[in-house]
C-alpha cells in the first residue's frame, strides 16, 4: 500500500489490481464525523466509465480512500462529500496513472475472484479458475490471537497446506454479546459502546491482518459479525457499518459474507419467530445496499444457521447472492445425509450459482470428528456438485483458545463450552493438511467440469447407506471414486465402450499414488476395484488415455 499523502489534487501512481490509498482532510470539525457526513471518490477509467468508491473516516479530520484499478492507463478522480461546503473534502480533483503488475501474487497477477460464466465455480478476473479451500478463523480478530507472531505463523501454515481462503469476522466474533471482552482486539471493540460511532483504531489493527492475508495470496472472506447483531445495531447502522467495511477493504481482492448465522436470533430472545422474520427482512435489504455501493463488485453471500442450511433460505431474494454457502451441522456421521442432500438441492436450484459448504463438522468437534471424516466430507461435497470448493474448521482454533486464555462458554441457555483445545494445538490436526492433498489432486484436472455421478459405483451413497462410496467426474475423460474402509470392495459401472482408461489409487492421508495400470472392464462396462495397499479410505482415479490436463 502506498504511503498516505496529504497533498491534494496531484497525480497519484498505482498498480493494476492493487489497492492504492491516500487521504483527504476535513476543513470542518464535526461532533460525529462517521454519522454526520459521507465521502465518495468518483474514479473515471481510461475508457470513460465511472466508479464511485466510498471513502472511510480514519479518525479526527482524516478521511481515506482505497481503490483498486483494473485497467492500465490514466484515471481521473473527483471527491463528492455530502457537505458540499467542506472544501477539504468536496470536489477535489486529480489523476491516477496505473501501471501493470509484475510480481507473483496470484491475486494481483490474475485479479480478484468472480463467478465463472458457467456459474458453478469461481475464477480470477482474467479467467484463471479459482478453487475455494477455506479455513475458519471466526475469532481471528481477537487480541489473544496475537499480531503479528500468531497470525503470521498460522497464515504461513495454511498457505503451505494449500488453503486459498480465510473466513474471518471483521468485528463482534460469533456466539458472544457485542461488547463481551473476549471479542475485543488490541484497540477494543469495533463500535463505541453507545453505538454512536465506529472505533477507527480497532480497524487499523484489522487492516494489518487483512493486508497480510492478501499479500500472502490468501483471499479473506470477511463477515461483519453475527446475524443477530442487526437487531441490536438497527438496520440503518448495519448498513452504515457495511459501508465502512466496503470502504476499508473493498479495494482488496476479498469476498463478503454479510454475517454469520444470519437467521439466528439472540439466544435469550423472547420473540424468536418475530426476530427470524426481521433478520431475513433486514439482511435482504442490507445485501442489496452492499451491492449498490461496492464499486469493486466483490462477491457477496450470507452464512446460514443449520436450521436454514443454505444461504438461499436466509434472504427473500436469492438473486442478490453470488454464491450459496451452506452450514450442514456438526454431528459427525449424522451430518452426511443433510450435507449431500443440501448440496444436491442447491446445485439444482434457481438461480444457478456456485455452491460450497461453509461450515460442517470441524475436526475434533465434540471430540467426535476425526481426520477420516474430514476427508469423507471433502469428497462427498465436491462429488455431490460443490465443485466451487470446500471449507475446513478445527475445534479450538476457530475461537482461538490459548494455553492461558480460553474462549469459555457461549451465551446459549445454560452455556456451551465448545472446546478448550488451544489453537496452537488444533492447527496441527492432520485433517487440515490432508484436505490440501485432496485439493492438489483436483488441480491436476479441469475440476470445474466435474459432475456428480454416484451411479458410477456400487455400492454407493444414499440416505440409508450414507457411509458408502461417492463418485463423480467428466464422462469419457475422468472418474473419481472415494470409498471409506469396508470389507466389500466397490465395483465401477458404466465404463464407456471404446474409451481406454488407466488408473491409480490416491491415498488421501499422505497424497501418495499407487499405479493400477490399464483398466480392464468386462463386456458390461464394469470393473472391480482391487484390494488397496491397506484397509483405509481411498480415492480411485480413472483417466481416459490422451485426455488433457490443465496447463
Q: Are 429 and 396 in contact (CB under 8 A)?
A: no
Give the separation between CA 333 and CA 369, rounded to whole angstroms.
Answer: 8
Give the separation between CA 57 and CA 64, rounded to whole angstroms.
Answer: 7
Q: What is the pLDDT of residue 259?
A: 98
| pLDDT tens sequence across 353-369 | 999 999 999 999 988 89
| pLDDT tens sequence across 245-293 | 999 999 999 999 999 999 999 999 999 999 999 999 999 999 999 999 9
Q: Are 182 and 272 in contact (CB under 8 A)?
A: no
pLDDT interval class at 173 (50, 70, 90): confident
The least confident of 117-121, 173-177, 495-499 is 173-177
Q: What is the model's pTM? A: 0.96
DSSP label of 305: P
Give the separation between CA 519 and CA 233, rounded to whole angstroms.
Answer: 61
Q: What is the pLDDT of residue 2?
A: 40
User: Within a 10 A sphere around the Cβ of 348, how many other Cβ atoms?
Assistant: 10
Helix (H, G, I), strand (E, B) or coil at 83: coil
Cβ-Cβ contacts under 8 Å for 170 (sequence gap 6 or more): 141, 190, 203, 206, 222, 223, 224, 225, 245
Burial 489-501 (b: 16+ CB within 10 A, else e): ebebbbbeeebeb
Domains and CATH numbers, the chain: 11-102 (2.60.40.10), 132-444 (3.20.20.80), 451-544 (2.60.40)
Residue 493 has pLDDT above 80, yes or no: yes
Q: What is the pLDDT of residue 319?
A: 98
Give the separation between CA 425 and CA 488, rounded to whole angstroms.
Answer: 36
Give the separation between CA 354 and CA 137, rounded to whole angstroms.
Answer: 22
> Rounded mean pLDDT of 358-382?
95
| pLDDT tens sequence across 455-465 | 999 999 988 88
Cβ-Cβ contacts under 8 Å for 476 (sequence gap 6 or more): 496, 499, 544
In the numeric block, the cell 444457478 is attached to 352
In the numeric block, the cell 489497492 is attached to 19
Q: Are 184 and 142 in contact (CB under 8 A)?
A: yes
Residue 52 has pLDDT above 70, yes or no: yes
In the numeric block, the cell 490468501 is attached to 218
Q: Are 125 and 17 in contact (CB under 8 A)?
A: yes
Q: In whole angstroms, how far apart are CA 529 and each of 382, 456, 470, 513?
A: 21, 12, 14, 15
In the numeric block, the cell 499479500 is attached to 215
Q: Are 313 and 325 in contact (CB under 8 A)?
A: no
> Rounded mean pLDDT of 205-223?
98
Residue 238 has pLDDT above 50, yes or no: yes
> Rounded mean pLDDT of 67-87?
98
Residue 48 has pLDDT above 60, yes or no: yes
Measured in whole angstroms, the distance separating CA 469 from the mean position of its chain's CA atoms is 28
Percent of the chain scoring above 90 in pLDDT: 90
User: Within a 10 A sphere around the Cβ of 458, how many other Cβ atoms?
Assistant: 15
Q: What is the average pLDDT value for the chain, to the nearest integer?
A: 95
Total length of the chain: 551
Q: What is the pLDDT of residue 316?
A: 98
Residue 224 grid coordinates: 461483519
Give the separation between CA 375 and CA 405, rounded to whole angstroms.
Answer: 31
Spatial CA neighbour of 388 closest among 255, 543, 539: 255
> Rounded mean pLDDT of 225-248?
97
Measured in whole angstroms, the distance separating CA 511 from the mean position of its chain's CA atoms is 25
261: left (phi over 0), alpha (psi -120 to 50) or beta: left
Residue 496 has pLDDT above 80, yes or no: yes
Q: Are 471 and 390 in contact (CB under 8 A)?
A: no
Q: What is the pLDDT of residue 551?
A: 60
Terminal C-alpha separation, the chain: 32
Residue 7 has pLDDT above 80, yes or no: no
| CB-facing half-sphere around the CA of 350: CA atoms within 13 A | 0
Residue with more model confidence, 207 or 6: 207
Q: What is the pLDDT of residue 1?
A: 41
CA-based Rg of the chain, rounded to a whole angstrom? 25
Torsion of CA 19, 400, 310, 161, to 10 degrees: 70
Helix (H, G, I), strand (E, B) or coil at 247: helix
Amino acid at each position: 500500500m502506498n504511503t498516505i499523502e496529504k497533498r491534494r489534487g496531484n497525480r497519484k501512481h498505482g498498480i493494476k489490481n492493487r489497492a492504492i490509498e491516500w487521504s483527504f482532510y476535513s476543513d470542518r470539525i464535526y461532533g460525529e464525523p462517521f454519522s454526520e457526513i459521507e465521502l465518495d471518490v468518483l474514479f473515471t477509467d481510461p475508457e470513460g466509465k465511472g466508479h464511485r468508491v466510498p471513502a472511510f473516516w480514519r479518525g479526527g479530520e482524516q478521511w481515506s480512500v482505497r481503490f483498486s484499478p483494473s485497467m492500465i492507463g490514466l484515471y481521473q478522480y473527483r471527491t463528492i462529500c455530502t457537505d458540499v461546503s467542506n472544501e477539504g473534502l468536496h470536489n477535489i480533483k486529480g489523476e491516477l496513472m496505473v501501471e501493470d503488475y509484475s510480481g507473483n501474487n496470484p491475486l494481483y497477477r490474475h485479479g480478484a475472484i468472480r463467478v465463472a460464466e458457467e456459474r458453478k465455480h469461481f475464477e480470477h478476473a482474467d479467467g484463471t479458475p479459482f478453487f475455494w479451500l477455506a479455513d475458519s478463523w471466526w475469532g481471528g480478530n481477537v487480541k489473544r490471537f496475537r499480531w503479528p507472531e500468531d497470525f503470521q505463523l498460522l497464515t504461513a501454515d495454511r498457505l503451505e497446506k494449500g488453503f486459498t481462503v480465510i473466513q474471518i469476522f471483521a468485528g463482534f466474533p460469533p456466539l458472544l454479546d457485542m461488547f463481551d471482552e473476549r471479542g475485543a482486539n488490541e484497540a477494543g471493540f469495533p463500535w463505541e459502546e453507545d453505538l454512536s460511532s465506529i472505533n477507527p483504531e480497532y480497524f487499523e489493527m484489522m487492516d494489518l491482518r487483512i493486508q497480510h492475508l492478501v499479500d500472502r495470496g490468501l483471499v479473506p472472506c470477511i463477515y461483519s459479525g453475527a446475524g443477530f447483531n442487526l437487531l441490536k445495531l438497527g438496520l440503518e447502522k448495519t448498513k452504515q457499518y457495511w459501508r465502512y467495511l466496503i470502504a476499508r477493504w473493498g479495494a482488496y481482492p476479498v469476498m463478503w459474507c454479510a454475517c454469520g448465522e444470519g437467521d439466528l436470533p439472540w439466544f435469550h430472545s423472547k420473540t424468536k419467530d418475530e426476530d427470524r422474520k426481521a433478520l431475513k427482512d433486514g439482511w435482504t435489504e442490507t445485501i442489496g445496499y452492499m451491492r449498490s455501493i461496492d464499486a469493486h463488485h466483490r462477491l457477496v453471500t450470507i452464512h446460514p444457521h443449520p436450521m436454514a442450511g443454505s444461504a438461499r433460505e436466509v434472504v427473500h431474494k436469492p438473486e442478490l447472492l453470488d454464491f450459496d454457502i451452506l452450514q450442514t451441522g456438526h454431528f459427525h456421521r449424522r451430518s452426511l445425509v443433510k450435507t449431500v442432500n443440501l448440496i444436491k438441492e442447491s446445485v439444482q436450484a434457481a438461480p444457478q450459482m456456485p455452491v460450497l459448504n461453509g461450515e460442517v463438522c470441524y475436526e475434533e468437534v465434540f471430540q467426535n470428528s476425526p481426520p477420516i471424516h474430514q476427508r469423507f466430507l471433502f469428497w462427498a461435497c465436491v462429488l455431490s456438485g460443490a465443485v466451487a470448493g470446500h471449507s475446513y474448521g478445527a475445534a479450538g482454533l476457530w475461537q482461538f483458545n490459548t494455553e492461558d486464555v480460553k474462549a469459555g462458554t457461549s451465551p446459549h441457555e445454560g452455556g456451551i463450552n465448545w472446546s478448550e483445545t488451544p489453537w496452537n494445538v488444533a492447527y496441527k490436526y492432520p485433517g487440515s493438511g490432508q484436505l490440501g492433498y485432496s485439493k492438489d489432486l483436483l488441480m491436476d484436472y479441469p475440476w470445474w467440469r466435474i459432475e456428480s455421478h454416484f451411479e458410477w459405483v456400487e455400492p454407493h451413497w444414499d440416505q440409508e447407506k450414507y457411509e458408502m462410496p461417492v463418485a463423480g467426474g467428466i464422462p469419457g475423460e475422468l472418474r473419481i471414486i472415494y470409498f471409506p474402509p469396508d470389507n466389500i470392495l466397490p465395483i465401477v459401472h458404466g465404463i464407456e465402450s471404446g474409451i481406454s482408461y488407466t488408473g491409480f489409487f490416491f491415498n488421501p492421508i499422505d497424497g501418495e499414488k499407487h499405479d493400477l495400470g490399464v483398466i480392464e472392464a468386462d463386456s458390461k462396462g464394469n470393473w472391480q476395484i482391487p484390494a488397496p495397499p491397506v484397509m483405509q479410505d481411498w480415492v480411485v482415479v480413472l483417466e481416459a488415455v490422451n485426455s488433457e490436463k490443465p496447463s
